[in-house]
C-alpha cells in the first residue's frame, strides 16, 4: 500500500534549502571531479556536468541537464549509507540511478537530524524521511511542469527523471523545470510508493565511492589536505591508572622539523561531560612538527613522568539525566580480572527478571546443566587510526575527520576551544572503519586544542600503538547459565547470571525469556579504570555467542536436534509466551532459523564437515548462521562454509547488504578465534598487529552464502546483527570437530591448543 | 636531510628527507600521494603496499635511502584511468566496505597476478595473507582476484 506522509511530522527544515550549500547558480562542487587529474576526466563525464544547479531541498539539487546530486546525511564508515540512503531519495524522486551523484552532507543537525552512525539505526530512522524528501521534490517538479504546460498536476506522471503529460504525451526533463520548481511551495503532504512500485530500492547498486576507493583518491580524514597544515602526535599515559606528572621537552624540541611541544587538557574546567565523552587520558603531551616521520621520531625523545592517580569521580549528562562516574585508582591486570569475575559469579547477583518459580523447578528437575563462559577486552582496531584535522582561529574552528557522532562531540569541542557551537564547523570524512570506536571522538577536541595553541592548521594523527593503547574497549564479560530438564527432556527452567568489567552484558527480556515457565536473569558489575564503550553490537557480541553455545549443550542433553529444540521453544514463545516484556518477535526468529535450516541442508551429514548453528535477535533484526568447520592438512580447524539467514525487513541494497553480513561473519570468526586485549600493571600487553591477532585471508571462511527473508516490513539495521551469533555457531561447530566444548574466548587460547 | 630523485609512477620526483624516512611518509607527506595508507608501521597489515620493481613491498619499512633508482608504483599509478584488471574486478565484485585497506589489497593482488596469472585459492590466500581487512571482505577479495585472473 502507498502511504500518505505529512511532511511537518518529519522536520520541515529538511525540505527547505540549506543556505550553507551554495543553492542555485553555478556550482562545481563535485569532490570526485576536483580530485581527478584533468586527463582522467572523460569527455562523457564533462558532458554530464550541469552548467547550473537548482537546489530543491537540503538533500537534493538538480542540474539543468537533469543530473541530480543527493546528499547523504549520515557519516559513512563502510556500512554503505552513501549508496543506500541516496537510493531512498532517488526512488521517490523517480530519477534514473545513473543520473545520480552523491556527496556527504555537511554536518548540521538542525537540518539533517540524527547524523549518527551507530546502533544499526541509519536506514531504519531514515526510511520515511528520505523517501519523503524525494517525493516532495518530485511533487514540486510536477507542479512546475503543470504550470508551464497549463494543465492539472494530476495529469502528469514521472519516470526516470522525465515528466509526462499523459493526455498529450508531452515530456519535460527534470532539469528543464528544476529552476521553476525552486519557486514551488513545499507540499504539505505527499504519497509514498508501495514496495511493489520500487525500481531502485531492493535492486543492488554498487558502492558510489567504489571508483575513488580502488584508485586511492583522498577521502579519509588522515588524507585531509590543507595548505600549511602541520602534523601533531600526542603522548598519553602508558597504562590505565596513570596520569601525567611532568615532562621535559628539551630534546624533543631540538629534533628536526619540530615546531612545538606542549601539554593540553582535553576538557574545559566547567564542561559537563556527556556519556560519549569517555576518556581515560585527559592530559596529554603534544609534539607538533612539519611531517609525520619527524614528529614520530621526536615523540620518542620526550621525557615524560607519569604517576598513579587515586579514586575520582565526575558527573556525566545522559540526555539530561546526571549521574556520577566513579573511576577507581590502581593498575589492573587480566589475572586479577579473572579472579574477580569468578568471585562475582559465585555470589548472588541483582535479579533483573524472574518468571515462575525457578528455585523449585531446578530442585525438582530430572537433569540440570550449568556452564560458565568468558570473553576478553577487545580493541576496535579500525584500519585508519584515530586522527582529526583542525584549523582554529579567533573567528571560529574548522574541523574535519572520521567520527560517528558529531552531535555528541560538538559541545565539548566548543567548550574546550571557548567558542560558541555555531562557530564550530565539523566536516564528516569517510571513515576507515569505526565499529563503535569513533562514537567517542575526544581526538577531535585534542586536534582543536593543538591548532589553537600553535595558531596553525594541524592534523593530529594517532600511531597504531597510540590507537590500540588509548582505547574505548569492548568490556571483558562472564556469564553462567543453568538449565533444568524434566523427565521428558522439556526445558522447565533457565537461569542466566552475567556480569562484566566494568559493565553487565545482560538482556533480561531476550530469548529464551518468554519461552520458559521458570526463568531468572541476574547481573553484576565490577568497576574498572579501563575505558569501555560501544563495540559492534555491544553486549550482544558476548551474550549471543554464549547463550547459543549453551542452548546447543542443553539440546544435546535433551537428545534433540539443535534447530528443532530452538523452534520448539520459539513455538511456545509464539503461542503461549511467558511474561510481557519479551523484546523479540518469536515468529521472525523462528523464520531465520527455518530459512538457514533449509538453505544449508541441515541434517545432511558430510564426511569431515562439522556443523554448528546459532540464531539471535538484536538491533531490530534477526540473524541465523550455520557454520561448517573442516580440519585442514595441518590438523587446524577452518571455517569452510557459512550460510546466513537474515530478516531485516525490506533489503534496500541487497548485494551491499550481503557484503555487510559476510564481513560480520568474518569479524565474528576472527574475534571468537583470535581477538583479545590483556592487561598487566594497567598496560595493554598488545599494542600493534604483531601481538594483537586479527583474522587474515587464510583463516577466513572459504565461502559465505547470505539469504534474506523476503517481506515488506519497514527495513531495520544490518551493521551489527549478523555479528553476535557467529561466535555461537562457530563454538558449536568446533565442538563437533574437536570433541570438546570451548568456554573462553579467544578459542585459540584454549588448552590444549585447537590450532597448532 | 638528503636529496633523492625517486622514480614514482613513471615520473621523477625530487625529495628532501632524512635517509631513515619510510617511503610511506615520503609518498604521503612529501608527494601528496595518499592512496598508500598507514596502518601499523611495522609491515604487519599491508595497507601501505606499493610495487618496488614490480614486487609488492611494504612502504612503511622501506627507507627512502634504500630505493635508489628502483621504480616505484603506487595505487595512483597502477593504471591511468583506474581500469587495471584488478581495479575493474574490485568494482565488479563491489569488494570494499570502509575501503581503507583496499589500495594495499589491490597492489598485492596486482603483483601476484603479474607473477602468477592463474593462482589457486591457496596461492591467493598465501599471497594476500599479509593484508588485513578489518571489515572482513576476504571472500570478496578472493572472488575479485579470480575474476581479474580470468579476464587478463
Assign residue B38 the CATH number of its domain. Answer: 3.10.20.30
Asked if A700 lies within 8 A of B139 by C-beta distance, the reply is yes
Q: For residue A490, how many C-alpha atoms fall within 13 Å in the half-sphere facing its CB?
A: 12
Domain co-membership, B92 together with B146 = yes
Domain co-membership, B71 together with B114 = no
Asked if A211 lies within 8 A of B82 by C-beta distance, the reply is yes
- Which residue in the set B106, B126, B137 is minimally distant from A698, CB to CB? B126
CA–CA gap between residue A470 and residue A662 (Å, rounded): 29
CA–CA gap between residue A32 and residue A46 (Å, rounded): 12
Put residue A634 in one of left, alpha, beta given phi > 0 → left and psi -120 to 50 → alpha: alpha
Domain co-membership, B69 together with B116 = no
CA–CA gap between residue B139 and residue A293 (Å, rounded): 35
Beta bridge partner(s), residue A274: A317
Mutation site, B37, B63, B83, B139, interface A, largest A CB count within 10 A: B139
- Of A181-190, B3-12, B69-78, the range with the lowest mean pLDDT is A181-190
Whether residue A304 lies within 8 A of chain B, CB to CB, comes out as no
Question: Taking CA atoms, what residue in B is nearest to A380?
Answer: B134
Asked if B98 lies within 8 A of A701 by C-beta distance, the reply is no
CA-based nearest residue to A388, from A437, A446, A465: A446
Domain co-membership, B97 together with B44 = no
Total Cβ atoms within 10 A of residue A607? 5
Domain end: B77, B101, B125, which one? B77
Burial class (CB within 10 angstroms; exposed 0-12, middle 13-18, buried 19+) of A51: exposed
Domain count, chain B: 2
Rounded to a whole number, what is the distance in Å from the CA of B145 to chain A's nearest CA?
12
Interface predicted TM-score (ipTM) = 0.99
Mutation site, A43, A206, A215, interface B, largest B CB count within 10 A: A215
Give, for A164, the enclosing helix (H) or strand (E): strand A162-165
Question: Taking CA atoms, what residue in A is nearest to B24?
Answer: A293
Beta strands in B62-135 (DSSP E): 71-73
CA-based nearest residue to A216, from B110, B47, B41, B135: B47
Beta strands in A347-437 (DSSP E): 350-355, 367-375, 387-393, 396-401, 424-428
CA–CA gap between residue A67 and residue A53 (Å, rounded): 9
- Which residue in the set A225, A689, A701 is minimally distant from B44, CB to CB? A689
Total Cβ atoms within 10 A of residue A605? 6
Total Cβ atoms within 10 A of residue B123? 13
The dihedral built from the CA positions of residue A116, A117, A121 and A127, taken in this order, carries a sign that is positive
Beta strands in A565-710 (DSSP E): 610-618, 621-631, 637-647, 679-680, 683-684, 703-708
Q: In which residue ranges of chain A is CATH 3.30.365.10 found?
A: 3-210, 226-313+380-469, 550-749
Q: How is A542-578 classified by DSSP, letter by letter?
A: HHHHHHHHHHHHHHHHHT--HHHHHHHHHHHHHHS-S
Domain co-membership, B114 together with B137 = yes
Q: How is A409-426 classified by DSSP, letter by letter?
A: HHHHHHHHHT--GGGEEE
Per-residue model confidence (pLDDT) at position A5? 76
Question: Taking CA atoms, what residue in A is nearest to B81?
Answer: A40
- Which residue in the set B1, B28, B136 is minimally distant from A662, CB to CB? B136
Query: Would you give the end-to-end CA distance of chain A in angstroms?
Result: 57
Mutation site, A32, A78, A214, A227, interface B, largest B CB count within 10 A: A214
**B133 to chain A: which residues are within 8 Å by CB?**
383
Put residue A333 in one of left, alpha, beta given phi > 0 → left and psi -120 to 50 → alpha: beta
Domain co-membership, B30 together with B90 = no
Residues 6+ apart with CB under 8 A from B121: A702, B142
Residues B54-65: what's their mean pLDDT? 98
Please give the CATH topology (third level) of the domain spanning A3-210: Aldehyde Oxidoreductase; domain 4 (3.30.365)
Q: For strands A312-318 and A273-274, give the pairing.
A: parallel
**Cα A112 versus chain centre, distance:** 19
Report the SS3 class of residue A170.
strand
How would you label A372-393 residue by residue, b for 16+ Cβ within 10 Å and e otherwise? Answer: bbbbbbbbbbbbbbbbbbbbbe
**A75 to chain B: which residues are within 8 Å by CB?**
none
Is A149 within 8 Å of A105 (Cβ atoms)? no
Domain co-membership, B37 together with B68 = yes
CA–CA gap between residue A298 and residue A252 (Å, rounded): 5
Whether residue A693 lies within 8 A of chain B, CB to CB, comes out as no
CA–CA gap between residue A644 and residue B34 (Å, rounded): 37
Residues 6+ apart with CB under 8 A from A363: none
**B98 to chain A: which residues are within 8 Å by CB?**
77-78, 382-384, 430-434
Asked if B44 lies within 8 A of A690 by C-beta distance, the reply is yes
Range of B132's domain? Answer: 85-151
**A659 to chain B: which residues are within 8 Å by CB?**
94-95, 97, 137, 140
Find the CATH number of the domain harbouring B127.
1.10.150.120
Give, for A259, the enclosing helix (H) or strand (E): strand A258-265
Beta bridge partner(s), residue A440: none
The residue with cell 564479560 is A477
Please give the CATH topology (third level) of the domain spanning A550-749: Aldehyde Oxidoreductase; domain 4 (3.30.365)
Per-residue model confidence (pLDDT) at position A4? 76
Q: Which three cell numbers stand for residue A82?
A: 552513501
Whether residue A219 lies within 8 A of chain B, CB to CB, comes out as yes
**B80 to chain A: which residues are within 8 Å by CB?**
39-40
Asked if B97 lies within 8 A of A220 by C-beta distance, the reply is no
Whether residue A674 lies within 8 A of chain B, CB to CB, comes out as no
Question: Taking CA atoms, what residue in A is nearest to B141?
Answer: A697
CA–CA gap between residue A456 and residue A391 (Å, rounded): 6
For residue B99, pLDDT over 90 is answered with yes
Rounded to a whole number, what is the distance in Å from the CA of B112 to chain A's nearest CA?
15
Whether residue A235 lies within 8 A of chain B, CB to CB, comes out as no
**A220 to chain B: which residues are within 8 Å by CB?**
37, 100
Domain co-membership, B47 together with B16 = yes
Question: Taking CA atoms, what residue in B is nearest to A671?
Answer: B134
**Cα B52 versus chain centre, distance:** 9
CA-based nearest residue to A387, from B135, B34, B17, B20: B34
Beta bridge partner(s), residue A54: A62
Beta bridge partner(s), residue A231: A289, A459
CA-based nearest residue to A678, from A688, A689, A692, A695: A692
Give, for A482, the enclosing helix (H) or strand (E): strand A476-485
CA-based nearest residue to A280, from A304, A232, A321, A244: A244
Residues 6+ apart with CB under 8 A from A229: A389, A391, A456, A457, A458, A459
**B42 to chain A: which residues are within 8 Å by CB?**
464, 688-690
Per-residue model confidence (pLDDT) at position A10? 66
- Which residue in the set B38, B97, B101 is minimally distant from A222, CB to CB? B38
Q: For strands A273-274 and A321-327, give the pairing.
A: unpaired
Is A492 within 8 Å of A486 (Cβ atoms)? yes
Integer Rg of chain B from CA: 15
**A34 to chain B: which residues are within 8 Å by CB?**
none
Domain co-membership, B138 together with B104 = yes
**B76 to chain A: which residues are within 8 Å by CB?**
215-216
CA–CA gap between residue A737 and residue A640 (Å, rounded): 12
Whether residue A660 lies within 8 A of chain B, CB to CB, comes out as yes
Domain co-membership, B17 together with B67 = yes
Residues B57-86: what's their mean pLDDT? 97
**Does domain A226-313+380-469 fall into CATH 3.30.365.10?**
yes
Domain co-membership, B13 together with B59 = yes
Whether residue A644 lies within 8 A of chain B, CB to CB, comes out as no
Domain co-membership, B29 together with B8 = yes
pTM beyond 0.90: the answer is yes
Is A532 within 8 Å of A473 (Cβ atoms)? yes
How would you label A113-136 residue by residue, b for 16+ Cβ within 10 Å and e otherwise? Answer: bbbbbbbbbbbbebbbbbbbbbbb
Q: How far is CA A240 from CA A234, A473, A530, A683, A748, in A?
A: 16, 12, 6, 6, 26
Whether residue A694 lies within 8 A of chain B, CB to CB, comes out as yes
Q: Which three cell numbers stand for residue A544?
A: 549471543
Q: Report residues of chain A scoring pLDDT below 50.
A: 22-43
**A432 to chain B: which residues are within 8 Å by CB?**
37, 98-101
Q: Which three cell numbers stand for residue B94?
A: 563491489
Is A143 within 8 Å of A172 (Cβ atoms)? no
Asked if B142 lies within 8 A of A697 by C-beta distance, the reply is yes
Give, for A175, the enclosing helix (H) or strand (E): helix A174-181
Domain end: B45, B60, B77, which one? B77
**B140 to chain A: which residues are within 8 Å by CB?**
659, 662
Amino acid at each position: 500500500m502507498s502511504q500518505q506522509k505529512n511532511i511537518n511530522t518529519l522536520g520541515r527544515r529538511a525540505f527547505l534549502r540549506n543556505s550553507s550549500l551554495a543553492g542555485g547558480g553555478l556550482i562545481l562542487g563535485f569532490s570526485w571531479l576536483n580530485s581527478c587529474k584533468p586527463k582522467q576526466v572523460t569527455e562523457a563525464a564533462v558532458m554530464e556536468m550541469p552548467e547550473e544547479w537548482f537546489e530543491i531541498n537540503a538533500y537534493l539539487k538538480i542540474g539543468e541537464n537533469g543530473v541530480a546530486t543527493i546528499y547523504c546525511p549520515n557519516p559513512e564508515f563502510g556500512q554503505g549509507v552513501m549508496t543506500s540512503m541516496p537510493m531512498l531519495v532517488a526512488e521517490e524522486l523517480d530519477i534514473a540511478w545513473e543520473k545520480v551523484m552523491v556527496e556527504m552532507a555537511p554536518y548540521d543537525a538542525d537540518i539533517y537530524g540524527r547524523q549518527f552512525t551507530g546502533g544499526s539505526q541509519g536506514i531504519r530512522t531514515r526510511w520515511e524521511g528520505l523517501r519523503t524528501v524525494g517525493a516532495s521534490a518530485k511533487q514540486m517538479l510536477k507542479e512546475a511542469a503543470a504550470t508551464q504546460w497549463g494543465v492539472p498536476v494530476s495529469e502528469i506522471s514521472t519516470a526516470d527523471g522525465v515528466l509526462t503529460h499523459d493526455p498529450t504525451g508531452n515530456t519535460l526533463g527534470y532539469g528543464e523545470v528544476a529552476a521553476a520548481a525552486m519557486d514551488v511551495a513545499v507540499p504539505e503532504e505527499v504519497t509514498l510508493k508501495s514496495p511493489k512500485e520500487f525500481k531502485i530500492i531492493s535492486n543492488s547498486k554498487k558502492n558510489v565511492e567504489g571508483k575513488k576507493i580502488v584508485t586511492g583518491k583522498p577521502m579519509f580524514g588522515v588524507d585531509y589536505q590543507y595548505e600549511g597544515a602541520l602534523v601533531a602526535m600526542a603522548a598519553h599515559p602508558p597504562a590505565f591508572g596513570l596520569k601525567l606528572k611532568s615532562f621535559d621537552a628539551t630534546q624533543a624540541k631540538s629534533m628536526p622539523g619540530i615546531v612545538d611541544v606542549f601539554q593540553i587538557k582535553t576538557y574545559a574546567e566547567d564542561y559537563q561531560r556527556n556519556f560519549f565523552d569517555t576518556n581515560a587520558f585527559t592530559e596529554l603531551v603534544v609534539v607538533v612538527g612539519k611531517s609525520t616521520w619527524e614528529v614520530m621520531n621526536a615523540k620518542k625523545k620526550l621525557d615524560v613522568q607519569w604517576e598513579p592517580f587515586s579514586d575520582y569521580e565526575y558527573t556525566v549528562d545522559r540526555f539530561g539525566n546526571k549521574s556520577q562516574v566513579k573511576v577507581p585508582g590502581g593498575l589492573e591486570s587480566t589475572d586479577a580480572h579473572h579472579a574477580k569475575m569468578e568471585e562475582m559469579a559465585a555470589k548472588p547477583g541483582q535479579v533483573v527478571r524472574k518468571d515462575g518459580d525457578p528455585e523449585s523447578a531446578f530442585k525438582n528437575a530430572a537433569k540440570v546443566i550449568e556452564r560458565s563462559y568468558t570473553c576478553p577486552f577487545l580493541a576496535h582496531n579500525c584500519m585508519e587510526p584515530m586522527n582529526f584535522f583542525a584549523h582554529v582561529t579567533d573567528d571560529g574552528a574548522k574541523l574535519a575527520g572520521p567520527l560517528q557522532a558529531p552531535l555528541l562531540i560538538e559541545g565539548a569541542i566548543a567548550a574546550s576551544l571557548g567558542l560558541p557551537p555555531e562557530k564550530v564547523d565539523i566536516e564528516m570524512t569517510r571513515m576507515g572503519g569505526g565499529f563503535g570506536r569513533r562514537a567517542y571522538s575526544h581526538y577531535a577536541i585534542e586536534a582543536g586544542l593543538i591548532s589553537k595553541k600553535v595558531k596553525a592548521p594541524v592534523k593530529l594523527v594517532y600511531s597504531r600503538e597510540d590507537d590500540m593503547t588509548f582505547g574505548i574497549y569492548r568490556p571483558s564479560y562472564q556469564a553462567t547459565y543453568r538449565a533444568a530438564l524434566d523427565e521428558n527432556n522439556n526445558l522447565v527452567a533457565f537461569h542466566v547470571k552475567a556480569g562484566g568489567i566494568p559493565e553487565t552484558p545482560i538482556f533480561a527480556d531476550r530469548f529464551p525469556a518468554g519461552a520458559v515457565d521458570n526463568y531468572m536473569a541476574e547481573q553484576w558489575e565490577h568497576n574498572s579504570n579501563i575505558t569501555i564503550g560501544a563495540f559492534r553490537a555491544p553486549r550482544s557480541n558476548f551474550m549471543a555467542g554464549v547463550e547459543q553455545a549453551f542452548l546447543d549443550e542443553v539440546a544435546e542433553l535433551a537428545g534433540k536436534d539443535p534447530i528443532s529444540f530452538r523452534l520448539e521453544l520459539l513455538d511456545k514463545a509464539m503461542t503461549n509466551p511467558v511474561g510481557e516484556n519479551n523484546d523479540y518477535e518469536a515468529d521472525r526468529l523462528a523464520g531465520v532459523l527455518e530459512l538457514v535450516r533449509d538453505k544449508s541442508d541441515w541434517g545432511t551429514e558430510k564426511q569431515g564437515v562439522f556443523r554448528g548453528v546459532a540464531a539471535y535477535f538484536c538491533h531490530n533484526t534477526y540473524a541465523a548462521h550455520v557454520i561448517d568447520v573442516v580440519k585442514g592438512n595441518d590438523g587446524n580447524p577452518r571455517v569452510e562454509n557459512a550460510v546466513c539467514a537474515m530478516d531485516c525487513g525490506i533489503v534496500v541494497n541487497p548485494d551491499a547488504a550481503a557484503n555487510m553480513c559476510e564481513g560480520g561473519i568474518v569479524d565474528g570468526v576472527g574475534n571468537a578465534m583470535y581477538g583479545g586485549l590483556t592487561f598487566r600493571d594497567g598496560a595493554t600487553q598488545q599494542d600493534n598487529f604483531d601481538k594483537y591477532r586479527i583474522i587474515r585471508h587464510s583463516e577466513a571462511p572459504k565461502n559465505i552464502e547470505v539469504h534474506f527473508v523476503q517481506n515488506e516490513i519497514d527495513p531495520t539495521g544490518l551493521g551489527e546483527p549478523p555479528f553476535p551469533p557467529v561466535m555461537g555457531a562457530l563454538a558449536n561447530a568446533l565442538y563437533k570437530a574437536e570433541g570438546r566444548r570451548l568456554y573462553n574466548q579467544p578459542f585459540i587460547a584454549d588448552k590444549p591448543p585447537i590450532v597448532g | 636531510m638528503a636529496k633523492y630523485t625517486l622514480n614514482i609512477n613513471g615520473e621523477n620526483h625530487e625529495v628532501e628527507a632524512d635517509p631513515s624516512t619510510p617511503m610511506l611518509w615520503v609518498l604521503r607527506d612529501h608527494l601528496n600521494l595518499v592512496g598508500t595508507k598507514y596502518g601499523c608501521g611495522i609491515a604487519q597489515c599491508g595497507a601501505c603496499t606499493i610495487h618496488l620493481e614490480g614486487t609488492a613491498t611494504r612502504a612503511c619499512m622501506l627507507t627512502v635511502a634504500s630505493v635508489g633508482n628502483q621504480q616505484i608504483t603506487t595505487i595512483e599509478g597502477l593504471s591511468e584511468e583506474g581500469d587495471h584488471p584488478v581495479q575493474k574486478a574490485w568494482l565488479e565484485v563491489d569488494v570494499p566496505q570502509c575501503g581503507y585497506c583496499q589500495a594495499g589489497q589491490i597492489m598485492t593482488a596486482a603483483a601476484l597476478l603479474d607473477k602468477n596469472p592463474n593462482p589457486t585459492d591457496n596461492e591467493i590466500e598465501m599471497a594476500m595473507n599479509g593484508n588485513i581487512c578489518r571489515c572482513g571482505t576476504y571472500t570478496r577479495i578472493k572472488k575479485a582476484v579470480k575474476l581479474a585472473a580470468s579476464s587478463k
